Amino acid sequence: MTYTNFTIETDADGIALVTWDMPGKSMNVFTAEVLRELAAVNDAVVKDEAIKGVVFTSGKATFSGGADLSMIKGMFTFQAEEKKKNPETAAQKLFELCGEMTGLFRKIETSGKPWVSAINGTCMGGAFELSLACHGRVASNSKAVKIALPEVKVGIFPGAGGTQRVPRLTNAQDALQMMTTGQTLTPQRAKALGLVHELAAPEALIDAAKAMIKNGLKAVQPWDEKGFKAPGGSMWSAAGAQLWPAASGILRRETYGNYPGALAIVKCVYEGLQVPFDTALKIEQRYFTQILQTTEAFSMIRSLFVSMQELGKGARRPAGVPKSDFKHVGVIGAGFMGASIAYVTAAAGIPVTLIDRDIDAATKGKAHSEGLVKDSVAKGRMTQEKGEQLLALITPSADYADLKTADFVVEAVFEDRKVKKDVIEAVEAVLSPDAIFASNTSTLPITGLAENSKRPAQFIGVHFFSPVEKMMLTEVILGKETGDAALARALDYVAAIKKTPIVVNDTRGFYVNRCVFRYIHEAYDMLIEGVPAVMIENVAKMAGMPVGPLSLNDEVAIDLSQKILKATVADLGEQAVDPAHLELVNKLVDDLDRRGRKNGKGFYDYPEKPAKKHIWAGLKDLYPQKSADELDVQTLKDRFLVTIALEAARTIEEGIVTDPREADVGSILGFGFAPYTGGTLSYIDGMGAKAFVALCEKLALSYGDHFAPTPLLKDMAAKGETFYGRFDPYAKVAAAA
């Protein structure tokens, strides 16, 4: 039989080398076709008496990233279709579908012939579950090898035997840690945990795998042998009595019960270790079926797996514009933001000129990259040679003429219209005719800045988030005259530096900052009402936010909030801001000099290390305090999530954001909006527009008109619509095709 995705070569010793190499793909992924062929490969191996064992490896630089987009989306499509056909049998059919990969892997490990997985690169999700089903595992000792079961990060969990094999190979505590956090293991750590048997040099990987078979590798898994005991000991041992109460408590502390997939992992391991292996697989299959039917799993997979990949691959890129190959990028402004942009540009292998008012300032900006490189080398994340190559790509300068060969320029100077105007004019005086000018501004509308340009069609906004080297999101902002060539070039640049882009139309604050400041302003309201500051921060985390709003405001700087409020008043009038908010920040900044983390005092105090930051005690004296006992935690949680989601809905209604995928992905990557919801619009779709409108109206009665539902939301509620239905991003693509 011939295979599309696999090749089989049997050597003189009877060892079959099965190589997974999908045509036309940069990485191997599981698809329905791959699973059918893998089943056929196993059948062929079993039938062929000449084959004594199998070495399974990848023909690509990586091993496999796990399941393909189409396979994941297909499970939800299958579920929806079955519910329409017959709701009573839909769950049973989904259960059977969920067991297909589990059954195949079980068939391989009970085939009677030894299989060894030769892991040559990234091995994630289902690919590692397949490796765990093999009787032996050899990993390359290369830094390119990354091993993980990261499914919990997209709302599900390892459902093809992962929750049962891992705790039978290593102790339950490490197994839980690995799976409930989705942590990535180095090959050395995987070996230390007992999840990999051997490490080998990359060039000796296949020989090492074959040697395992030649040396008598048993074709029976440990858990299939009589008398098997899990490494962590009995569930009812003294060690177990210490582990399990603590495990569930830690999970509750870390997730606040918001992630059903994480809880299911604990249940699978706890229940599975008390029964025979095949029964344990059924338990896992049952929980996996249950989790796949949750709103959290559907929303997280859609946003954090499907949409993120689609946006990263250029879902919003204009058709017909040739891809850009960046030869030279310019960055204007060598402050913290500009220096960081230069760093990520050089890290992508692109030569970059870093410009500032004088060579000393520009050189100081490059020193920021030198610090980042030094830190990476010290932590083993980068070799000295790679670090030197990166730094060699950054050229400090004070001469705009050095930008004449740049094909893309990013301006990252002070948030002042006059300063930016001067930079735009100076750069355009030397810029080549087809080069693109991008402004990294967080507050100033791009259309207004483009009025200073002689080429507004080639002027665009590219808004980075700090710290640039860590934050994965970039907002690409279209001015009224921005052309397709500028948009395509900007998206190509964002892809080159390995960020996820969202495209938004021009408005004050764009998308992310509009939502962020709703979050912060709701905290102002709560402070003014007398809600204790500690409760504000803790309730926000309970709602799913990674950082409390007061802590976040300290990070972005309270005096920046003050500047934005004052600029809003200057541009739109006093009615555009809540005077109580302005009074609060004025008191903090002007009277108390509490500007945030940058000067060591804001809503928090920041003592010298090792002491930790803590809420400033004086906050409670600014407003009469309420007792925590008279406050409803659920209402406070609702206020935070609803005010942000409402702002996201407004940006859709105003045409600022036109694709719901971008609203969702942007909210999670930009400021960590409760990932379990799938993002701002998925949060609304998840409960339904009707229920969301009712919640808004209830909150508006008690907490103000800023909770009033918009006309769009009321219309959607009346019609039973969702954002992904009314603003279907795939319908636009189909219509354009």
Q: For residue 297, what are its two tokens?
A: 């799993």
Picking from 489, 458, 569, 178, the residue whose alpha carbon sits closest to that of residue 314 is 489
State how beta strands 15-20 and 6-10 pair. Answer: antiparallel
Q: For residue 98, what are its two tokens?
A: 């969920």
* Contact of 648 with 515, CB cutoff 8 Å: yes
Picking from 190, 101, 99, the residue whose alpha carbon sits closest to that of residue 137 is 190
Please indicate whether residue 463 is annotated as part of the active site.
yes
Dihedral over Cα of 590, 613, 341, 359: its sign: positive
Distance CA 258, CA 260 (A): 6
Which burial class, exposed, middle or buried, applies to 515 when counting CB atoms under 10 A from its CB (0-12, 13-18, 19+)?
Answer: buried
* Contact of 693 with 717, CB cutoff 8 Å: yes
Q: Which of 135, 197, 368, 463 is catalytic?
A: 463
**C-alpha dihedral (360, 364, 365, 369), degrees to nearest 10:** 140
Return the residue matching tokens 């989601």: 645
Q: For residue 594, what are its two tokens?
A: 């509490």
Under DSSP, the state recorded for 609 is T
Strand partners, 355: 332, 397
Q: How many CB atoms lie within 10 A of CB 401?
A: 8
Contacts of 652-657 spanning 24+ positions with Cβ under 8 A: 652/681, 652/712, 652/723, 652/727, 653/710, 653/711, 653/712, 654/507, 655/505, 656/504, 656/505, 656/506, 656/507, 656/510, 656/511, 657/502, 657/504, 657/505, 657/511
Cis ω before 610 (30° cut-off from 0): yes
Q: How many CB atoms lie within 10 A of CB 121?
A: 21
Distance CA 404, CA 427 (A): 9
H or E element that contains 639: helix 633-653
Spell out where 145-243 has E strands: 147-148, 184-185, 198-200
* Contact of 170 with 193, CB cutoff 8 Å: yes
* Contact of 412 with 341, CB cutoff 8 Å: yes
Distance CA 45, CA 47 (A): 5
Picking from 310, 63, 299, 30, the residue whose alpha carbon sits closest to that of residue 159 is 30
Residues with Cβ within 8 Å of residue 684, at least 6 apart in sequence: 645, 649, 692, 713, 723
Residues with Cβ within 8 Å of residue 471, at least 6 apart in sequence: 464, 465, 499, 669, 670
Catalytic amino acids? 463
